[in-house]
A = this chain, B = another copy of it.
């Protein structure tokens, strides 16, 4: 077993597991510089016990083996895994991963994180603030480094207000309103909906039987963005989305000065039609925080978590639903743990 008393030689692994696949990075424990990465387009399946630990390990272990091979005897001392649905779906992973990693490489430090936490660590590192992760869904996560504050992320029926699914759904509603001759309709959005999906009278039959309804809705969000310059209905949808996103950032962001807000994820590729009203809304609702560009992505966040765990410098707070640490001999106080070399 290596000791992080010798961090110059120690390595860490960060894993980002999401709906679109798995990405794995090998990095220096000291400093967190990434040495190499692997990725797989095959998402890890989820079963009744959550993310399948067997499938996960089947993908991760060989990838890490091939990543570490060129680095001879340098030991992997910490692993951090960020995964969508970790909070609610990670029971099996939590039960099996620590033992499996200890057995495979003697890894004694493991972090299991919700994807919003790796997004946070990637975007803001270990500073206090709030990160809004937006894509098909939308969640804001903030911390004052004592506890986490989460806002939204409740899915397309209960929330995700301002997300890609939310914007796309509102755009399609405006298309149907135009089709019906109801108020609030947009002929421009109707034309784009028919171009994308065919005659809109067939849209209910095409949408409702699908299991990826939120993704189908979100696929219309870029069309709303493209209409916004000329179409007041589309512009209003994006202005309302911006307001909802800022409300989530406001709720998640710690009080007091010195906090930063970062926006991360594909949602913000909608560009100015969303970002201009969003900057205005953030300035109004979260004036205490400065908005910064995210420093990195969720994979770099997983690496940062693993490196901090390896070097005993983790400041982001543990949380049963968001960030679980498994550190041998010091499971509850990793951030201030003495670095132990024992068995």
Contacts and interface: CB of A to CB of B under 8 A. Distances in A.
Interface of A: 88, 149-152, 154-159, 161, 169, 172-173, 176-177, 180-184, 203-205, 207-208, 213, 217, 247-248, 250-251, 285
Contact of A158 (B161, B172, B285): B172
Contacts of A181: 149, 151, 251
A172 B152 CA distance: 12
Contacts of A149: 181
A204 B159 CA distance: 10
Interface centre among A151, A159, A204, A251 (most CB of B within 10 A): A159
Contact of A182 (B151, B169, B180, B208): B151
B248 A180 contact: yes
A184 B250 CA distance: 12
- The complex is assembled from copies of this chain, and their number is 2
A250 B169 CA distance: 23
A154 B183 contact: no
Given A150-B180, A151-B181, A151-B182, A208 B247 contact: no
B157 A217 contact: yes
B158 A180 contact: no
A180 B88 contact: no
Contacts of A248: 180, 182
Nearest to A205: B88
B158 A207 contact: yes
Given A156-B157, A158-B169, A183-B285, 14 more contacts: A88-B204, A88-B205, A151-B182, A155-B204, A155-B208, A157-B169, A157-B207, A157-B208, A157-B213, A161-B173, A182-B247, A182-B248, A182-B250, A184-B247
A181 B253 CA distance: 11
Contacts of A205: 88
A217 to B, nearest CB: 7
Given A154-B203, A204-B154, A159 B183 contact: no
Contacts of A285: 183
The 9 closest A-B pairs by CB, nearest first: A151-B180, A182-B251, A181-B251, A183-B247, A155-B204, A182-B247, A154-B176, A180-B251, A159-B176
A176 B183 CA distance: 29
A151 B155 CA distance: 27
A234 to B, nearest CB: 16
A116 to B, nearest CB: 13
A240 to B, nearest CB: 11
Nearest to A165: B157
Contacts of A250: 182-183
